[in-house]
Structures are given as C-alpha cells and as structure tokens.
Structure 1
Amino acid sequence: MKHARDITGPATVGHMAEMTGLKGMVITCLRQWNRGGAAAALAVLRDRMGETRAAAAFEALQDVADSLDAHMRRPLRCHAPHCHCVGADEAAFARFVEESALGGREDALMLASLLVEARGILPLTEAAARLGLCLHRAVLYESAQRMPDPVSRTRH
C-alpha cells in the first residue's frame, strides 16, 4: 500500500476540551450508553436538561441505539466516560448527529452510510436529527443562562 495507516475506532483524534456544545453532549451520551446502559445516559440528560427535555432526548437516543443495533456495520468503539481523549468513532458519530440536526441532509446521509447498512440509513438519520435538535436546544438554553441580565430592560 502507498500510505498504510492503522486508524481504528478508539484511535485518539482529539480531546474532550475541544468538543464543546452539541458534539460534547453527543459524545458524553454515547459513552454513558455504551458503559452504563440506558439508565446512565438518562441520568446525564436529566442533569443537563431537566426532566421534560431529557425525556424527549432520551426517546430519540433510544431510537438511535435501536437503529444502530439493527443495522450497524460494526460496533462503535468508545473511550471511558471520564477519559479526556476523543476516539475516531466518537468524533465521527458526533459529526453525524450534528450534520443530521443542523447541517445538510445529504452530508448526514453519507455519514450514516458509513455507520449502518443501506436500509438503516434513513431511520438512523431521522433519529439522529431529533436527538441533535434536543441536545442543541439544551446547549442554547445553557448559553442563555450564562448571559448576564441587562442593566436596563429598554431596548433601542
């Protein structure tokens, strides 16, 4: 081979400090789901989003997991929940969820084709879009909570 590389799923491609916002939440949920199951992922969502929003996000996360279980090409490899590194599979999955929710549908479908068989592409992409939007709303809400109150309510 011209350029032989051994990049596998758990190969480190970044750090969690670089994964802010939506991508960081996706990776955290994925790690919790893989290590602690559905209950661990739900606990993380409740801590970050509150009960009502967490329920919607958890339902979407369950649909993503069901689609992956039924159609995935190979298992996604994840680092430990508190590891500071980000693996190749985690980064690719976070990018897929972000593209499904906020980016171009065509890009999301292409990324889904790398994760699952052909008949699982659409269900996975739809579930990932719902999950990504729920998590994106939570990120926006957290950002709004950190903004200081204006000195004056008058807007010009």
Structure 2
Amino acid sequence: MRPDHSTPRGGVTVGTLSDLSPLEAGAVIYLRHWFSGSETREQMRRDFEVSFGPEMAEAAFEAFGSLCNFCAAHGRRPLVRHGMTCKCLGADENCFANLLASAAEGQDDDAHILASLIVPAHKAHELTQIASDCGVFLQQIMGAQPPQRATRPLTATLH
C-alpha cells in the first residue's frame, strides 16, 4: 500500500525564494501573479510599466502571458504553485524559473531539458523559444545583465 501524499510532487518545497537569483525569483513571483487572477495580473502589468514604460511593458506582459498560457495549454499537467506571499519554492516553480533563466542565458540544451519536464517533448523547443524571448524582458526588469556564455566545465561536479 502506498502512503497518501497530500502535497502533489510539483508543490514539494525545494528551497526558498531567497535562494534564487533575481531573474529566477521574479519568474516565480510573476508566475504566481499570472495564475492568481486579474487583480494580480494588473499589478504585474504596472510593475512592467515602471520598468519599461507603457509601450514596452505591453510587449513584456504579452510575452510572459504567452509563456504561462503555453505551459497551461500544453503542459503535461498543471504547474503547482505556492501562495502569493509564500517564501517557499516549489519543485514546479523551480523548474519554471530555471527554464526561464537558462533560456535567457542562451543555455539552450539545459532550457530544452527543463522545457521537456513541463510540456511533451514535441512542444519543448517551442516552449524554450518563448522562454528565451520572455527571459530577455525579465532580465531587464530585474536589472540583470545577461551573463557571458560560460565554457563547459571540465567536470560536472560543482562541490
């Protein structure tokens, strides 16, 4: 008999928002905003207007909306999210944040692998492209400069 787990695996806490880079934390916060209703989406739009001005804000808002809507329409299952004020980071949120960051940084292979965790393999390339487009806007909002493409490490072990 399997134990009953009340938390879906995608919602399991894997860290905190403070563990993330500004780009990744922003991705999670805006993911929560997007799926929490029209009021929080409007707050997100206003944040974008402060960062970009009205014209560019609309493009950024649409890009992020396209990313979230693509995940919702083509996802293997709904992305599990923590509450708007929760400091925890869920597994699905972490995957989404890493997808956006790796796509924005031009790490296409990593982004494609992460995308294939969210959507079926035949949709992963499209999701990676949408995430890349959106990531550029989020880098600007968060004041992050795109990092230079890192060379492949001699070993994959970090610690």
TM range (shorter): 0.7 to 0.9
Matched pairs, number: 138
Structure 1 position 18 matched with structure 2 position 23: no
CA deviations 1:35-85 (Å, max 9, x no partner) are: 124434324433554433422221211221232133110100111111111
Specify the structure having the higher radius of gyration (Cα): 1
Assess, with a 3 A threshold, how the Cα gap between structure 1 residues 77 and 47 changes in structure 2: closer, same or farther.
farther
Q: 1:116: how far off?
A: 0.3
* Structure 1 pair 105–52 and aligned structure 2 pair: CA distance change class (3 A): same
Identical aligned pairs, as a percentage? 33
Which residue of structure 1 lines up, in the alignment, with residue 37 of structure 2? 36
Q: Structure 2 matches for 1:1-156, cutoff 5 A?
A: 8-37=9-38, 38-140=41-143
SS at match of 1:133: helix
Instruction: Find the aligned partners of 1:30 and 1:124 in 2 and give their Cα distance.
Output: 15
Kept in 2: contact 1:28–1:81 (CA 8 A):
yes
TM-score by length of 1: 0.77
Partner residue in 1 for 2:154: none
Q: 2:25 is aligned with what amino acid? A: G
CA distance, structure 1, for counterparts of residue 144 and residue 10 of structure 2: 32
Greater CA drift, 107-116 or 6-15: 6-15
How far residue 120 of structure 1 moved from its aligned partner, in angstroms, is 1.7
The one-letter code matched in structure 2 to 1:100 is A
RMSD, matched Cα: 2.4
Q: Which residues of structure 1 form unaligned runs of 5+?
A: 143-156
Q: Letter of the aligned partner of 2:113 in structure 1?
A: M
Q: 1:48 to 1:85 in 2, by over 3 A?
A: farther
Q: Is the helix fraction higher in 1 or 2?
A: 1
Give the Å deviation of 1:131.
Answer: 0.9
Q: 1:50 to 1:16 in 2, by over 3 A?
A: farther
Q: Distance in 1 between matches of 2:137 and 2:23?
A: 10
